[in-house]
Amino acid sequence: MNGHATVSNGASDKIPAESMDYFATNPQPPTLRFHSAAAKAFIEQHARENRRVAIVTSGGTTVPLENQTVRFIDNFSAGTRGATSAEYFLEAGYAVIFLHRQFSLLPYSRHYSHSTNCFLDFMTHNDAGAVVVENEYQKQMSSVLDRYRTAKKENTLLLLSFTSVNEYLWTLRELAIQIQPLGANGLFYLAAAVSDFFVPAERMAEHKIQSSEDFNPSHPDGEDGEGEEAPAARMEGKKLVIDLDPVPKFLKTLVDTWAPHSMIISFKLETDPSLLATKARYALEKYSHQLVIGNLLNTRKWEVLFVSAKEGERWIRVPAGRRTKSHTGFGEDMNAAHSGPAIEIESLIVPAVAKMHADMIANGDPRHAA
């Protein structure tokens, strides 16, 4: 199946040429057909049940340097923001399509799967020799298990994975097209860390790049001498040289064409505090969607900046002494004076987002207000 062919709303003339070119020149991933079919059935079910659907993206995208990939560039993200937020969206009554980096954190299992919280540490043998959960973890694990089972029973959580930025982009586009019939009941929560640069298919080396000069074809002047372009990642003498193309600005296309009626929330990650608000405002202006959530690498677990046309700028913060120490959400910040149990910031972010979404459904898209 060609996912592209499903752009059937006559809107393709509004898609920026660079985005069209991208899908014409970068191959559709083999997983797309399965993802598309699963998403279609999921969205149809929740449309029938009149449930809002959130597409939550999570984890980092890779940029492979070779077709038969041994080496790749990666983007920072453990998947904590996405996996944790997905749980709170489910709690708020949404059905969730969790588009995540393969092997990054998942809703519910995130509490136990990471190496710092190995599930085996929660287990013990009882007197009869059976494996059981340690007494002190019973209450907490039972609550996670109940919520996990409910999501399974009601089929409200669909897990779809990607690895490369190409898989991510193709799948995001497919989901956006699939969710169009839901109109304003669809929501995108784009927490994945998506690479800004990539190796286009036509400049991708087929085989593992050889580090030894003795095994490397030479590419004088960046060309191979026969008019063909040199691979984007190549050895020049003893150096590995990588020149990457910019990834087209898909957020614009998502907002204007792929999902024009959905609520769209993007994230902006910075490391320099003096740039965060400016960059978040810039993104909101450039892409004209409903909400940008800014966060800083070092403080992202306890403060974020909401920037929207309707409400301007507002910080959401976990009070000191209530910060989590890890992705599990159960531990507390050992460096802080405690004033109560730990609070995950996503438990504050998601209800605030859901409220804005409900407002948009009830009163219309604030971007179109007179």
**Residues engaged in binding ligand PAZ (CB under 6 A):** 77-81, 191, 193-194, 267-269, 295, 300
CB atoms within 10 A of CB 330: 16
Terminal Cα-to-Cα distance of the chain (whole angstroms)? 42
Residue 36 or 161 having the CB closest to ligand PAZ: 161
How much is the CA Rg of the chain, to the nearest whole Å? 22
Q: H or E element: which one contains 241?
A: strand 239-242
Q: By C-alpha distance, which of 33, 32, 9, 4 is closest to 20?
A: 4
Q: By C-alpha distance, which of 263, 314, 267 is closest to 290?
A: 263
**Nearest approach, Cβ of residue 81 and ligand PAZ (Å):** 4
Residue 50 or 271 having the CB closest to ligand PAZ: 271
Whole-angstrom Cα distance, residue 102 to residue 195?
16
CB atoms within 10 A of CB 201: 12
**Nearest approach, Cβ of residue 279 and ligand PAZ (Å):** 9
**Nearest approach, Cβ of residue 342 and ligand PAZ (Å):** 16
Residue 78 or 133 having the CB closest to ligand PAZ: 78
Core vs surface per residue 11-38: b (16+ CB within 10 A) or e: eeeebeeebbebbeebebbebbeebbee
**Nearest approach, Cβ of residue 45 and ligand PAZ (Å):** 28
182 close to 43: Cβ distance less than 8 angstroms: yes
Angle, nearest 10°, between helix axes 138-153 and 80-91? 70
257 close to 181: Cβ distance less than 8 angstroms: no
Residue 185 or 253 having the CB closest to ligand PAZ: 253
Residue 170 or 267 having the CB closest to ligand PAZ: 267
**Nearest approach, Cβ of residue 316 and ligand PAZ (Å):** 13
Owner of token pair 């207000």: 369
Residue 179 or 280 having the CB closest to ligand PAZ: 280
**Nearest approach, Cβ of residue 204 and ligand PAZ (Å):** 23
Q: Which amino acid is at 76?
A: F
230 close to 218: Cβ distance less than 8 angstroms: no
**Nearest approach, Cβ of residue 100 and ligand PAZ (Å):** 10
**Nearest approach, Cβ of residue 124 and ligand PAZ (Å):** 30
Residue 7 or 353 having the CB closest to ligand PAZ: 353
Pull the structure tokens for residue 359: 């407002």
3-class secondary structure, 348? helix
Residue 112 or 137 having the CB closest to ligand PAZ: 112
Beta-carbon contacts of 145 under 8 Å, excluding residues fewer than 6 positions away, are none
**Nearest approach, Cβ of residue 300 and ligand PAZ (Å):** 5
Residue 194 or 264 having the CB closest to ligand PAZ: 194
Residue 22 or 42 having the CB closest to ligand PAZ: 22
54 close to 89: Cβ distance less than 8 angstroms: yes
323 close to 302: Cβ distance less than 8 angstroms: yes
**Nearest approach, Cβ of residue 99 and ligand PAZ (Å):** 13
